[in-house]
Structure 1
Amino acid sequence: MIRIAVVSGKGGTGKTMITAALSCLLKGSLVLADCDVDAANLSLVLSPRLIRTDPFMGMKAAVIDPDLCTECGACREHCRFDAVEIDDGAYQINPSRCEGCAVCTLVCPADAVTMQPRQTGVIMYSEVDRGHLVHARLVPGAGNSGLLVHAVKKTALQEDGDAEKFLVDGPPGTGCPLISSVSGMNAVIVVTEPSVSGLHDMKRVITVCRQFRVKIFVVINRYDLDVTKTEETEAYCLEESIPLIGKIPFDPAVISAVRAGVPVTDQGQGPASLSICGIADTLEKELVNLAAR
């Protein structure tokens, strides 16, 4: 299995649009995962048919047993996250504030506080035209997005480990979700745009990806909006010996495809669609060389 993650240093570069198009173009059997669990939207353009959902249990949270609680206030005094609240005279934990530090369990003289598992998200296993898609939804404000990304990938590999390719739509940025997405991948496609922040954040995400010794490719989306920045990006890739496998022009058909909820390659042979077809062909050739190593 060849494992490919599509990532970006910043949001709004067109990463999900490119992932959806590649899912239609890459050869062989395929399993997909949307690892942008804080704002998963690959499903918006692939029209998945839900097969099942599984709860995701994040870090434990404190729970106060009202029958044992003496209302001494020690837990509230020592909680640095203001998670202990009083409702009608009864002490209770606000789960959205609890960080799972367990200090309250140590200071409670009546042993009324325990750490209990809590559901902070859901993992969805769905069918799409090219195979299966694993995606997730994290409870707003919940932490552990890196752990949920790991769980999404684990589900995909357990259910479709015999697929020839594993295509991951990764999260933007350089934090824990990205690290969890890139871990175990063979190749990473960094999608950027010709802007000051696009080039800056591309360099940052490439620095992170290099720690995992993956093959790195770059795609410049909407390259014709700023030719000067595109040339700077090309110069950087050349200097760093990073293959630039494609440049996608600005194309209103992309917006129409997103509004219609379909991959842009389903909108006919427009400029963006043709460019992505070329990227898929180049990527296939690179992956053959990667598999031969």
Structure 2
Amino acid sequence: MSSLPIPREPLRRVAVTGGTHGNEMSGVCLVQHWLREPGEMQRPSFTAVPVIANPKAVAACRRYVDRDLNRTFINSNLTTTATADDPYEVTRARELNQLLGPKASGKAFDFLLDLHNTTANMGTCLIADSIHNVFVMHLCRHLQLQNPEQRCPVLLYQRPGEESYNVHSVAKNGLGLELGPQPQGVLRGDIFSRMRSLVTSTLDFIELFNQGAAFPAFETEAYRFVGLVDFPRTEDGNLAGTVHPQLQDRDFEPLHPGAPIFQMFSGKDVLYEGETTVYPVFINEAAYYEKGTAFIQAEKLTFSVPAMPALTSSP
């Protein structure tokens, strides 16, 4: 595995962002709480900063105002001269890039944890850019070991050669938490508590790393995006069917050729015609209707993560 460089110095600046999507309430409420009472986030070796990523969307309890903020952190948006006609999220992305970045620079925050909810049955999902970030892979392993009662699958959002575009890409290292199912604009106590515990475990891991802990090599698996599947539609673009009951809520379970994926309003089943087994994720996600996506196809990878040696510099 060709790996990104492992940090050789303690991570000093950490950010936790909520409200990247303004109607995903676990992260919104946690960050709002920590803005009032930040003590829970602090550790001896680093400073952790809570940030509401999209305050206008949070105020309106909407996913976004003009466009999806979590698809906006590409260089063409961050480096283009600002104009009065820019979408709000492009302006906000530039502000966050200055606050937490600049992206791909030595001045960027050392780590960013971005908090999300989904209406899909994704459970406790850890969203990373690629398998090549050894620090993040060890963090994911730590979260899995700390939460043995939960599956905690790792989902790799970035395709080979694709520019990173989400909020946590502005930091040197980053991870997204995607917890569900939870309706948009609703706060569920169980998911709120689970997310709070995961944030605590993440901050504790960074503290362990900063204090000189070493982490052994391990074998693991992750899921990588390979394609999008839209709903069946009529000629004028309206829905002609829905996610099949046999597929609904089965995120991260294998989908074999010939299995039903949609049920037409006529009653006819639509079968998966692919030649290989895939793993659907974000099945029937409410926010993806506008994106023309009924679910995302992923492939399962098994790979080795090298050991992460202890820091040689003192905390």
Q: Would you call these one fold, judging by a TM-score over 0.5?
A: no
TM-score, normalization by structure 2: 0.30
| Bigger relative CO (Cα 8 Å, ≥ 6 apart) | 1
The TM-score, its normalising length taken from structure 1, stands at: 0.32
